[in-house]
Amino acid sequence: MKTRVTLHRDFVISEIDDRLYGAFLEHMGRAIYGGIFEPGHPQADEQGFRRDVLALVRELAPPVVRYPGGNFVSSYNWEDGIGPWEVRPVRLDLAWHSRESNQVGIHEFADWCEQAGTEMMLAVNLGSRDLDAARNFIEYVNHPGGSAWSDERIRNGRRDPWNVRLWCLGNEMDGPWQIGRKSADEYGHLAHETGKALRAFDRNIELVACGSSNPDMASYPQWEATVLDHCYETVDYISLHMYFTNHEDRLGDYLALAEKLDRYIVSIGGVIDYMRAKKRTRHQVHICFDEWNVWYHSVEQDRRILQGSDWPFAPPILEDVYNVEDALLIGCVLNTFIRRSDRVRIACIAQLVNVIAPIMTETGGSVWRQTLFYPLLFASRHGRGRALDVRVDGPVYQTRELEEVPCLDVAAVHDEAGERVTLFIVNRDPQQALELDVALEGFDHATLREHQCLIHPHMKAVNTACTPDHVKPQPGEGLRVEEGRLRGQVAPLSYHMVGVRVG
């Protein structure tokens, strides 16, 4: 079956913000303790950070990491994570029914980010706390010295401020599960006042207001309209979250969930445009998709742990083991973000290590890449530049919700400095190889530079500590560039990263 694809050098969607390939770490399960931080591990450095985990994080190269939550932040006191370890309190985390030792706080996380080569994206607690705690936090983190909280930071061993640019105003404040849940009016007012206070400290920071926790919330999309009516000109982003499930094991429907994501982005883009017109402002709010991933494999196990009578330390929760199907969907999701990069500037896969994560560890043992590590790696490494407007003419299929889902999902990025066009291709067809014919318009002297393919005969195949390379990319075959066109076959249920050198 033939699929024609057309792209042109001058038909640009947007310059991609590198932070589209960000990540998320929450004080939850083994993400922090037993994930990035494990004193006594053979690979631990002098601060307790696992060097083997850091190596894989550097490989993914997330430009930004959101911290410390997530649901955790809505009952978190940031002051608990500063000062000597021996005086830090142990708290009960109400979000994830566990004990929090506070061994890792802002100083430790900042040091880890420096080693990982990434920037901090910090969230403030607007659940159980208010703008006063938020303004103290930013003073501690960003002020050079000569004030109460900045001098406290210096006494705690950090002279220079961290100058964190990106701040989240709470987390999922529409959710009934959230500590300190607010109505849209309550939260919108609080976000505006908190944002106003933080901007009084530094008008150059970027602020993220909470949007809907997911598009199935009863208040969606009125939540976004009400919140932005309060704080549109105070914030720079509205956050969205979305998790993907395949409980019914219907692969075609599952891989089409990226189309539902696309509709979510388009709908909230419309709300933003409406509010911008209502406010008669030039200010442009963008979307920050600061939680997204596949999450369904471990739900029953998590429920048993979280409903127990004890308060465990770093319990093994949300440790989904991902298969080939999940990697294909992640490829489609990343393609959606690229194609909507005019709207979505920041995105954070949730999470980075152990908790619904591309990187997994054994406590005291090994570390390995999950299947979905690879599409994220390719997008992060080769998806920076200008997103091109790609037109696809090929076969489609139907799902229970959607009438026309393209069998071939394609995104393209032009890295002008690197003289490269990268195509990210997913064939969602379960049986048919697709004959590909891509017109590379406006590019001179195109030659095939690189082709990596993620494919496996068993869709349920996974990587484990014992078989860490069971599913991994391999050099692709069957594609060629001739006469300014990329041609060849893409196998059914496969992911491809194709780099083309261009003049």
* Active-site residue set: 172, 291
Cβ pair 64, 122 in contact under 8 A = no
Phi-psi category of residue 43: left, alpha or beta, with phi > 0 → left and psi -120 to 50 → alpha: alpha
Any idea which residue has 């021996």 for tokens? 86
Rg for the chain (alpha carbons), in Å? 23
List residues bridging with 6 in a β-sheet.
391, 439
For the chain, what percentages of helix, strand and coil (3-state, to nearest 5) are there? 30, 30, 45
Which two tokens mark 495? 């992911």
| Strands 420-427, 494-501: pairing kind | antiparallel
Neighbours of 120 (CB within 10 A): 21
The phi, psi pair for 237, rounded to 5°, reads -140, 155
Instruction: Say if CB 476 and CB 427 are below 8 A apart.
Output: no
d(CA 123, CA 194): 12
- Alpha carbon of 241 to those of 88, 210, 231, 327: distances in Å? 32, 9, 19, 19
**Amino acid letter at 299?**
V
Helices (H) and strands (E) in the chain, counts: 11, 26
CA 2 to chain centre: 33
**Residue 61: both structure tokens together:** 């190269």
Smallest CA-to-CA distance from 213 within 245, 181, 256, 165 is with 181
C-alpha to C-alpha distance for 242 and 294, rounded to whole angstroms: 9
C-alpha 39/C-alpha 33 separation (Å) is 9
Select from 357, 333, 358, 328 the least CA-distant residue to 347: 333
If you search the block for the tokens 């005969």, which residue do you land on? 457
Quote the DSSP letter at residue 385.
S
Locate 461 and state its tokens.
């195949």
**C-alpha distance from residue 15 to each of 137, 195, 237, 385, 417 (Å):** 32, 27, 17, 6, 13
Taking CA atoms, 310 is separated from 28, 34, 250, 305, 410, in Å, by: 16, 19, 37, 9, 48
Query: What is the C-alpha to C-alpha distance for residues 407 and 426, in angstroms, rounded to an integer?
Result: 8
- If you search the block for the tokens 């929760």, which residue do you land on? 317
